[in-house]
Amino acid sequence: MNPPQRRPAIRAVSFDEVGGAISRLIVIAGSDTGQASRAADFLLAWWDGATWGHFPVLHLCNCDPSISEDMLIVMAYLAQEPTVYPDAWGYRDAMAALVEQWRPE
């Protein structure tokens, strides 16, 4: 079996780029904007989708391009690296706060 080939549309994403994307998404998810719930859904589905819910792919079309791009940066990183979660960038407390804000049950 041949190793997977890199696709030009999926570029290598650095750890720092992902950290910046997560930071921006957490700020949006913690706000009261119309796109906050979509950013929260994305982050919480990554954190633990079985517990906190899923992220409908259509949300990518319903966000500002810069927000969707941040989500895609995270996804591109996850496609090239082993399983990793937001706490690898020090966002455990921020993720817990999103759970309290968006999934208070």
Q: pLDDT of 75-88, one tens digit each?
A: 999 988 878 999 99
pLDDT band at 21 (very low <50, low <70, confident <90, very high): very high
> Averaged over 12-41, what is the pLDDT?
95
Token duo for residue 14:
């650095």
Which pair of structure tokens corresponds to residue 102? 């968006």
Residue 14 to residues 20, 69, 91, Cα–Cα distance (Å): 10, 14, 17
Report yes or no: 30 and 101 within 8 Å, Cβ to Cβ: yes
Round to whole Å and give the CA distance between 105 and 102: 9
**Integer Cα distance of 22 and 89 in angstroms:** 9
The whole-model pTM stands at 0.88
pLDDT band for position 23 (50/70/90)? very high
Strand, coil or helix: 73: helix
pLDDT tens profile 50-61 = 999 999 999 999
- Res. 30 pLDDT band, cuts 50 70 90: very high
